[in-house]
Amino acid sequence: MKQFIVRRVGYSLLSLFLLSVTIFLFVRVTGDPTTLLVEPGASPEDIENMRHQFGLDQPLWVQYWLFATSFVTGDLGQSFYYRTPVLELYFQRLPNSLQLAAVAMVLSLLIGIPSGILAAVRVGGFWDSAGKTFSLLGLSLPQFWVGLVLILFFSVYLGWLPSSGSGGILHLLMPAFTLGWYFAAAHMRLTRSSMLEVLDSEYVKLARLKGLPEALVIGKHALKNALIPVITLAGINLVVMINVAVVVETVFAWPGIGRLLYEGITFRDFPVVQCVVVLGGSMIIVVNLLVDILYAYIDPRIRLES
Amino acid sequence: MTVTTTPLAAAAASPAARTLKLWRLEGFPLIPVLILLLIAFVAVFADFLAPYDPQIGSLARRFRPPAWEAGGSMAHLLGTDHVGRDVLSRLIFGARVSMVVGLTAVLVAGGIGTLLGILSGYLGGWVDQVIMRVTDAWLALPALTFAIFLAAIVGPSELNIIVILGGVYWTRYARVVRGEVLSLKQREFVRLAVVAGCSKWLIMRRHILPNVLNSAIVLATLMLGVVIVTEASLSFLGVGVPPPKPAWGLMMADGKKGLMVGYWWLTVFPGICIMLMVLSANLLGDWLRVKLDPQLRQL
Amino acid sequence: MANKLLSLENVSAHYVSQQGTRVVRAVDEVTLSLDAGETLGIVGESGSGKSTLALTILRLLPKAARIVGGRIMFEGEDLVDKPAAEMRRVRGKRIAMILQDPMASLNPLFTIGDQVGEPLRVHEGASRSSAWQRAIDLIKSVRIASPQTRVAQFPHEMSGGMRQRIVGAIGMSCEPRLLIADEPTTSLDLTIQAQYLDLLRELQRTHGLALIFITHNLGIVAKMCDQLAVMYAGRVVEQGPVSRVFSQPLHPYTKALLGSIPRMTEEREQLTAIDGQPPDLANLPAGCSFAARCPAAFARCQVEAPPDFTVEPGRSARCWLAAPTVHASIDQTIPLSRSAAS
Ligand SMILES: Nc1ncnc2c1ncn2[C@@H]1O[C@H](COP(=O)(O)OP(=O)(O)OP(=O)(O)O)[C@@H](O)[C@H]1O
Ligand code: SF4
Ligand SMILES: [Mg+2]
């Protein structure tokens, strides 16, 4: 187990390293990074200072070292627009993103799990087709389109829900549903396939052979096993949701990290963009690591095979 | 005791006939394919089909509603936008943008991904390690976020978008192709080729590549939808196809401002176009996946 | 017939493909019977329909399969048209079954006590604590040491042999009248196999239950069973008391099986020792389904399937050679329609 954890942590560190190298190289290779990282209209001395600070007069690996250490020490630079450290901005917005992601996750599970079970139990039937259509739409429809249609209907036409901004739970409903639909589709598909696999297992057969009522066979014996991968995916997706809400947050003007990223691009505030991207990638690598380790605790077979 | 044939058994046709039947119509997504063909047709002949110049409007005729609404006219079938440009013409030229960006980006992603996937899977060893570790690291970034980051660095242009999407999506290809190659390597004909002394490059080109093409095509079709959504999202966020080019995502971003005051046609029509195209690509991809490549079913 | 515990009359169960174009006759016109307390062995090659037959009796066939005909009389009731809710009360209570892969039959997420006590709770309305107590007794009865601690453990904490015994204990929990064991020992090593068989026999004696024992292994049949049914391509081709069938096999297939009889010490998969392949069950030949591999086949076998000839009470075979008037029938003219059918 220890060996597994050590190796898995090593893997994640490698991923983080490669990710940072990627980002570093993209910023350097595509031209002079000072143009991205120095405010528009800065004086020539400022630019010269900046070049020195980034070590642009030094070999590439020294530059990378400076870049990496600044990240590790939490120095992600200043926002041009807000004139505050970007990390501060990031943590100001993070709670909003968490809130949105949490509600979206609850919705996606409330929709995805029951419909996935129903589709598996009635495989090939009406509910299966209905579920397939629902998930196909969820995976195909662009989120800004869903969001705008919701606004058009619930805010413009019916006037029931606020079209943008933050505040009460009403503000959250539409963005959370828009974000959650895609994930509901993913959770439904996984629940369905995992349930189908479990329903085919010997222990479900034995449960039926024992004469258990079908509700107990499915609700007790099948469901608990089928939900393990779904909960795992949901754990990872919660973190993914925080980081992919840019379109939803833009449509609904929800002040989360995605909105911050959007502001970063519209105000040409590159340090902000870089911060959101780096932290997003790191967060996902870390949660993948945690989930793998947790899984290895639950299921000893994983440890052995890898 | 007699030998009886039940009607069910009698209904069983010869294997060849059954295969043919499977291929012909079973679940063939006719409507999606027609929609894709229509979009492609419109994209190619946009210059002849569009009634107006998509980039030039007149402010005197802004915010005209569609023809069937009060105040609309047949001159602008689907209305006009905030600078008086004809929505229908912009949609028609937008089809060209979506098709060009979508197809070329998928081609770029598929090309890089297939190449690296084959190298990784066939050569193994450190080549495999390097490619797969980079793939893993890149996959950690959500595609849209990654694309936004790249777009923020290189700036928006149609060509840049294609390169960016190719650069973001090759990783998914590489993964799948590598897996496929690993199983092909165990197959008889590849082993025979090795024994016969064919060079690695020859084997990869002649034996591996043709056999992963099926999966590559299926993936490309499924990826087309994803790429189009991402392109539209980038354009919607203002880092995609730069204005005044008529991209559907951009039209929706522009139209969003008018939504609250009732100019619904500016967002709904481009939205429907994107939706139809993406749904069609996905339905076709799903069908191809089942037909061409049963191994990819669980994707 | 009336006092039989279980009797199947012309039972057929087919798998039908989704398009309805492919019909696999996995169980075809099977007639069998079993007295209370008796042991019936069912042998046959892989794919001959043994598991399907067992699941047919319990009406737990996969979705693709259906019972297309026959009667399954159990304690005087026909199971075939029993309402689903009543059928559920038969399973686990009056007829229990041990699956082909007992290693995978236990749910990894629930305790042994929970799973062993479950039938008691649903069939006898036992409370949680009394079901738990009786689970301990049951675990003890299948000779597992320290049942008090075992009962609270999870399946992965037990060895394969133990899990097998647990599955046996689940089968016995409601004291059924009939236990169907589908190759319960294939995944065990030989010592544990022998121990398990002893255990089953002992349970059978103490509870007076009837046993249907499905196996590939004629050695086990010799040791365990009173009656024997040999299946080939979905049909029972020969049946009778074990001693009679062993000493005087009627069907060429049975003869071939006995010719390749394995010792208990040999590996499994012995029944493939006969040359050739069984026919495709979706595309059965017009004549005897064994004809292609039969050393004794003659003209009639190719065109007309032999019926089930009862040779003596409780003893029958599906082979023209077992026909009472075999010589007379060889020369019979064959109706045109039949030759056309082949
Ligand atoms: N779900 C299914 N769909 C279609 N055909 C099936 C299905 N399950 C089994 N069959 C077919 O039914 C026939 C009988 O299968 P069955 O499992 O009853 O054989 P068996 O005698 O138990 O074999 P084994 O000794 O390997 O367990 C086989 O030819 C098999 O291919
Ligand atoms: S009927 Fe003919 S082919 Fe069939 S087993 Fe008997 S002798 Fe052999
Ligand atoms: Mg079987």
Count of other CB atoms within 10 angstroms of residue A158: 9
| Structural tokens at position B23 | 């291929």
A203 and C92 within 8 Å at the Cβ level: the answer is: no
Q: Which of C123, C106, C100, C94 is nearest to C167 (CA)?
A: C106
DSSP, residue by residue, A43-76: -HHHHHHHHHHTTTTS-HHHHHHHHHHHHHTT--
pLDDT (tens digit per residue) in A108-165: 999 999 999 999 998 888 888 888 889 888 888 888 889 888 888 888 888 788 777 7
Q: pLDDT of B63-102, one tens digit each?
A: 777 767 777 677 766 777 777 788 788 888 888 888 899 8
Q: Does the pLDDT of residue C186 top 90, yes or no? A: no
Looking at mean pLDDT, say which of A44-48, B152-156, C142-146 comes out highest: C142-146
The residues that bridge with B80 in the sheet, in sequence order, are B86
C60–A225 CB contact, under 8 Å:
no
Residue of A nearest to C109 (CA): A225
- Amino acid of residue C312: E
- Subunits close to C (at least 3 CB pairs below 8 A): A, B
Query: Does position C66 have pLDDT exceeding 70, yes or no?
Result: yes
- State the pLDDT at residue A161: 80
In chain A, domain spans: 90-305
Please work out, in degrees rounded to the nearest 5, the angle formed at the alpha carbon of residue A34 by the alpha carbons of A30 and A36: 65
The pLDDT, as a whole number, for residue A269 is 80
- Per-residue pLDDT at A247 exceeds 80: yes
| CB of C18 shorter than 6 A to ligand 1 | no
Residue A105 has pLDDT above 90, yes or no: yes
* Dihedral angle over CA of A56, A61, A62, A65, nearest 10: 110
3 state DSSP class of B223: helix
A144: left (phi over 0), alpha (psi -120 to 50) or beta: alpha
Q: Is A56 on the interface with B (CB under 8 A)?
A: no
pLDDT for the residue numbered B72? 66
Sequence-distant (6+) residues with CB within 8 A of A206 are: C99, C105, C106, C167, C170
Question: Looking at the predicted structure, is the pLDDT value of residue A276 above 60?
Answer: yes
Q: How far, in Å, CA of A211 to CA of C125, rounded?
A: 13
Contact flag C286-B3 (C-beta cutoff 8 Å): yes
Phi-psi domain of A164 (left: phi exceeds 0; alpha: psi -120 through 50; beta: other):
beta
What whole-number distance in Å separates Cα of residue B57 and Cα of residue A27? 38
Lowest mean pLDDT among A65-74, B51-60, B178-187, C68-77: B51-60
Residue the block writes with tokens 């086990």 = C220
pLDDT at B44: 86
* Residue C289 Cα to ligand 2 middle (Å): 8
Please judge whether C97 and A209 are an interchain contact, meaning their C-beta atoms are less than 8 angstroms apart: yes
Q: How many CB pairs under 8 A join B and C?
A: 27
Residue-wise pLDDT for B169-200, tens only, equals 999 889 888 888 888 888 878 778 777 777 87
User: Across the interface, do C23 and B3 touch by the CB < 8 Å criterion?
Assistant: no
Residue minimizing CA distance to atom 22 of ligand 1? C51
Token output for B189: 């004909």
CATH domain C1-94+178-272 topology: Rossmann fold (3.40.50)
Pocket flag, ligand 2, residue C274 (CB < 6 Å): no
Find out whether C188 and C160 touch, Cβ atoms under 8 Å.
Answer: yes
pLDDT at A304: 47
Span A169-178, pLDDT tens digits: 778 889 999 9
Q: What's the pLDDT at C236?
A: 93
Nearest CA to CA, how far is A230 from chain B (Å)? 15
Residue A243 and residue A257 in contact, taking contact as beta carbons nearer than 8 Å = yes
Phi-psi region of C10 (alpha: psi -120 to 50; beta: other; left: phi over 0): left
Nearest CA to ligand 2 atom 7: C297
Q: Which of B54, B56, B57, B80 is nearest to B67 (CA)?
A: B80
Nearest C-alpha of chain B: how many angstroms from C65? 14
The string of pLDDT tens digits covering residues C42-55 is: 998 888 999 999 99
Domain boundaries, chain B: 29-53+60-298
Reported ipTM: the value is 0.83
Cβ-Cβ contacts under 8 Å, C99 against chain A: 202, 205-206, 209
Cis peptide before C62 (omega within 30 of 0): no
Tell me, what's the pLDDT at C224? 87
State the Cα–Cα distance between residues A174 and A151, nearest whole angstrom.
Answer: 8
Question: For residue A97, which of A282, A255, A256 has the smallest C-alpha distance?
Answer: A256
d(CA C25, CA A135): 38
Q: Which of C66, C44, C54 is nearest to C8 (CA)?
A: C54
Q: Do A209 and C90 touch (CB under 8 A)?
A: no
% residues pLDDT > 90 (chain A): 24
Radius of gyration, alpha carbons of chain C? 21
| Mean pLDDT across chain C | 83
Name the residue with the closest Cα to ligand 1, atom 17.
C51
Burial (CB < 10 A; 0-12, 13-18, 19+), residue B185, is middle
CATH no., domain B29-53+60-298: 1.10.3720.10
Of the listed ranges A288-297, B185-194, B289-298, C212-221, the one predicted with least confidence: B289-298
What is the predicted pLDDT for the residue at A30?
65
Render pLDDT for B107-129 as a digit per residue (tens, 0 to 9).
999 999 999 999 998 888 888 88
User: How far is the alpha carbon of C228 from chain B, nearest alpha carbon, in Å?
Assistant: 23
Task: Give the nearest ligand 1 atom to C216 CA.
Answer: 25
Residue of C238, C294, C342 best suited for mutating to test ligand 2, as the one with most atoms within 8 Å of CB: C294
Q: Is the Cβ atom of C171 under 6 angstroms away from ligand 1?
A: no
Query: Helix (H, G, I), strand (E, B), or coil: what is residue A124?
Result: coil
Do the chains contact at A148 and B152, CB–CB below 8 Å?
no
Listing from the earlier edge strand, what are the strands of the sheet with C210-215? C95-98, C178-182, C210-215, C39-44, C227-232, C235-241, C315-317, C309-312
Residue with tokens 């990031």: A90
Who wins on pLDDT, A252 or C324? A252
Residue B124 CB: number of other CB atoms within 10 A? 14
Query: pLDDT value at position B111?
Result: 92
Q: Do B274 and A145 touch (CB under 8 A)?
A: yes
Kindly state the tokens that stand for B75: 């001159």
The β-bridge relationship of strands C39-44 and C210-215 is: parallel
| Backbone conformation region of residue C20, classed left if phi is above 0, alpha if psi is from -120 to 50, else beta | left
Which of C105, C106, C122 lies nearest to residue A211, judging by beta carbons? C122
Q: How far apart are CA B229 and CA A145, in angstroms?
A: 10
Which of B73-87, B258-272, C110-124 is predicted with the least confidence, judged by mean pLDDT?
Answer: B73-87
Check CB contact of C323 with chain B, cutoff 8 Å.
no
Residues of B in contact with C287 (CB under 8 A): 3
Instruction: Report how many Cβ contacts below 8 Å link chain A to chain B.
Output: 137
User: Is C288 near ligand 2, meaning CB less than 6 Å away?
Assistant: yes
Residue A63 to residue B110: CA distance in whole angstroms: 33
Q: How far is CA A191 from CA A120, B126, B291, in A?
A: 8, 37, 24
Q: For residues B125 and B278, what is the distance between their CA atoms, to the nearest angstrom?
A: 38
Residues C311-324 have a mean pLDDT of 87
Distance from CA of C221 to the nearest CA of A (A): 24
pLDDT value at residue B11? 39
Identity of the residue in A22, A140, A284 whose CB atom sits nearest the CB atom of B278? A140
Tokens for A56, please give them.
Answer: 């642009």
- CATH topology for A90-305 is MetI-like fold (1.10.3720)
Average pLDDT score, chain A:
84
> A55, A63 in Cβ contact below 8 A?
yes
Q: What is the pLDDT of residue A47?
A: 75
Give C158 or A298, the one with higher predicted confidence.
C158
pLDDT in tens, A16-43: 888 888 888 887 776 666 666 666 666 7
Tokens standing for A97? 């993103």
Q: How far apart are CA A19 and CA A6, in angstroms?
A: 20
Q: What are the structure tokens assigned to C123, written together? A: 């069939």
- The pLDDT-based confidence of B6 (bands split at 50, 70, 90) is very low
Ligand 1 midpoint to CA C165 (Å): 26
Q: State the Cα–Cα distance between residues B48 and B194, nearest whole angstrom.
A: 55
A270 and B152 Cβ atoms separated by less than 8 Å:
yes
